Amino acid sequence: MIADYLSWHYRVALGDTMRRSTVLLRAVANYFSILPLAQTLFAPWHRVVEPYRRGFAFGAFLWTLVANLVSRILGAIVRLAVIFAGLAAVLLTAALRLVAVAVWILLPLAVPAAILFGIAFLMIPSA
């Protein structure tokens, strides 16, 4: 019975935990839309763009150019902030999952350790 439990614990459940960790990391990355934000990093913010007017007036051209650049820079700043927050969340999730897997691996040792500590505690003479 103990061998069956250990086989399940280290083969089935540990593999399932690893698969769920991968799914969770992908879910966190998708929640923050890291890849789409990186692909559209310099796109205008909320698609706010000034159309260029017909004909050439240097002042109007310069105004439109600056407005469109500001929109793209603002979009890049906001997207970078969300990308960095998403990467931080992915790294934190990965670190916590590594801790959870380490605890899962060591968990079967908790029962014998608790029994040994209990026996050792009982052997300590009372004052």
Q: Which of 19, 17, 37, 21 is nearest to 87 (CA)?
A: 37
The set of residues, in sequence order, having a beta carbon less than 8 Å from that of 2 and lying 6+ positions away, is none
- pLDDT of 4 reads 92
Residue indicated by tokens 């796109």: 43
- pLDDT of 56 reads 82
The set of residues, in sequence order, having a beta carbon less than 8 Å from that of 90 and lying 6+ positions away, is 25, 28, 29, 32, 34
Ramachandran class of 5: left when φ > 0, alpha when ψ lies in -120 to 50, beta otherwise: alpha
pLDDT band at 100 (very low <50, low <70, confident <90, very high): very high
Instruction: Kindly report which listed range (33-37, 56-60, 95-99, 105-109) carries the lowest average pLDDT score.
Output: 56-60
Q: How many CA atoms lie within 13 A of 39 on its CB side?
A: 4
Global pTM reads 0.75
- pLDDT of 24 reads 95
Q: Which of 3, 21, 15 is nearest to 108 (CA)?
A: 3
Contact 109, 22 (CB under 8 A): no
| Rounded Cα–Cα distance for residues 106 and 100 (Å) | 10
